[in-house]
Amino acid sequence: MIEKEDSLKHRWEILESRKGSLHERNEKYARWTLPYLYAPTNVNNEELDTDLDSVGARAVNHLSNKLIETLYPTYRPFLKLELDDELKEKFAKAKVPQVDIDKALVAGEKGTVRQLDKLGHRTGATMAAKLLIVTGNALVYYPKKGKVQVYSTRDYCIMRDVGGTVIEFITRDVKEFETFTEEVQEKLKASGKKDTDYEDSTDVSLYTQVKLNPETGKFEISQAADMVDLEVSENQYAKKDLPWIPLTWNLARGDHYGRGMVEDYRGAFAAVDVLSQALLEGVITAATVKFLVNPGSVVDVVELNKSANGTFHAGRKDDIVSVNSDKHLDFQQVRQVLEDYIRQIAQAFLLNSAVTRDAERVTAEEIRYQAQELEMAYGGVYSRFTEEWQEPVAHLLLSRKDIKISDDSIFPVIVTGMDTLSRMGDLDNFRMFAQDLSLITQMPEGAQARLKMGNVMTWVGNNRGLDYAAFIKTDDEVKAEQEAAAAQEKAMMQQETTNQMAQDAGKEIAKEV
């Protein structure tokens, strides 16, 4: 079959050749963690080679589930619908009850969650998170019908500009010949393939190209089965409506492909791999039972090997000695170094067992603070995924529900991910602010009397990075409350005086009677 230079297959091969050592690196990182994520191409339903220690698999599984639960919570929408000021004003003039508006917005938010459930989003998103952590790249496809599909860099090539903006990518799916329509089958048979004839079980590569048109700003779609061009029902998408979402974990300027978290800690993973192998081989050697027999003794080794337990043999006890390994201290040192590297990985991947220090008494507050400190370290990751993953998914789902958001009159606001972490940080700042102020009550009364509490609270709030103005009363508010309290007290005193005068007058009248 002659390959045309302008075919999608030819373009795929060009982009594939530019990946360099990407496949080899990803196979290595997957072997240290979850081998099935990037299995070698020559493996066919065989057991995959994996690291001897399961810390990599446990770390990736744990972090991927934590990441998805933060970005897409199970029991609440990951977005909130908002109205712009102009639309709010229109509703106000039309006297639309706010309750009805809120009810409609909440219904729209819940509808997006139901759409994600129908697409099997959580399963696909978790797989994408694993690929991102291990390989640094994943392409998530949200079809209108069917389940979410996730591509690794085995099955897609991508081109970006120097700033990281996607300008082109091609996916490759392998389908059997019989799954195509009769029209496409006839075109494939007539395409001039010489090596083999197309049969029902023959594998056919389906290429899908998504390319940005710089003039229109839209992505244009092309498809081909092997060398046969196919018609596409929807051949143009605006960026916010694009059902393919390419993701990266870390993307350096000028790179087409991202780098994963496993690559950041490749030294620790490589050390765990080598040390685990060395420790296992050493333990196996130490566990081997061998005996030495004095060649000058009368012990018959052959007879001894054949004899049953409890039998008697001629000889002295010193004629036979066991071979003992003197490497126990070496094994202990290897184990200590191995545990240090495992702890590094566990802490980086937020495994709870590695968050706390090794001590007899560790408070719950210390556990919570250390865990949250590590969570906050991923703020950059959450920010990236909010922009590159959550917002595109929100716009895509809302457009499919016919909620018109093109004019930004109704727009989604992400309320998970980095936003959640920010709220946790603000709450922690408030706790520390309150603790700082509580220390003042423990000071001597004379010292407290000399303090300007308003200035102290302002100073503590500023240094804690807290927006204290929202809940601390101003001097005018305090003065107004004091004046209102004084006026109320004065009114109560006047009322008591009036009541007392009435009672005294009643008593005088009673005496006269």
Q: Within this chain, do residues 270 and 371 fall inside the same structural domain, yes or no? A: yes
Residue 450 lies in a domain: yes
Q: Within this chain, do residues 279 and 369 fall inside the same structural domain, yes or no? A: yes
pLDDT at 371: 46
Residue 305 lies in a domain: yes
Residue 29 has pLDDT above 80, yes or no: yes
CA dist list (Å): 12 to 105, 109, 210, 227, 285: 44, 39, 12, 12, 50
User: Highest mean pLDDT range out of 108-117, 148-157, 275-284, 414-423?
Assistant: 148-157
Residue with tokens 């003794």: 297
The arithmetic mean of pLDDT across residues 158-164, rounded, is 94
pLDDT at 33: 93
The arithmetic mean of pLDDT across residues 398-425, rounded, is 61
175-197 per-position pLDDT tens digit: 888 888 888 888 888 876 555 57
The domain of 502 spans 476-513
Q: Torsion over CA of 114, 119, 123 and 127, rounded to 10 degrees?
A: -130
The arithmetic mean of pLDDT across residues 297-322, rounded, is 83
C-alpha torsion sign, points 455, 457, 459, 461 = negative
Q: Read off the pTM.
A: 0.73
Residue 21 lies in a domain: no
Residue 490 lies in a domain: yes
Residue 84 has pLDDT above 70, yes or no: yes
pLDDT at 492: 84
Q: Within this chain, do residues 452 and 509 fall inside the same structural domain, yes or no? A: no
Q: Within this chain, do residues 306 and 366 fall inside the same structural domain, yes or no? A: yes
Question: 404: Cβ–Cβ under 8 A, 6 or more apart, which residues?
Answer: 410
Which of the listed residues 332, 355, 376 is the one where a domain comes to its end? 376
Residue 357 has pLDDT above 60, yes or no: no
Of residues 432 and 138, more confidence is placed in 138
Tell me the CA end-to-end span of the chain in Å, nearest whole number: 130
User: How many domains does the chain divide into?
Assistant: 3
Q: What is the Cα–Cα distance from 426 to 466, expressed in whole angstroms?
A: 7
Residue 500: count of CB within 10 angstroms of its CB: 10
Q: Within this chain, do residues 351 and 443 fall inside the same structural domain, yes or no? A: no
The arithmetic mean of pLDDT across residues 299-321, rounded, is 84
Q: What is the Cα–Cα distance from 276 to 344, expressed in whole angstroms?
A: 15
Residue 162 lies in a domain: no
Question: 479: Cβ–Cβ under 8 A, 6 or more apart, which residues?
Answer: none
Out of 11-20, 40-49, 154-163, 357-366, pick the least confident. Answer: 357-366
Residue 212 has pLDDT above 80, yes or no: yes
Residue 346 lies in a domain: yes
The arithmetic mean of pLDDT across residues 52-77, rounded, is 84
Q: Within this chain, do residues 460 and 480 fall inside the same structural domain, yes or no? A: no
Contact by Cβ (8 Å): 136, 245: no
pLDDT at 501: 78
Residue 200 lies in a domain: no
Residue 438 lies in a domain: yes
Indicate the average pLDDT of the chain: 81
pLDDT at 233: 81
The arithmetic mean of pLDDT across residues 89-101, rounded, is 81
- Please give the structure tokens belonging to residue 134: 């291990």
- Please give the structure tokens belonging to residue 130: 């694993």
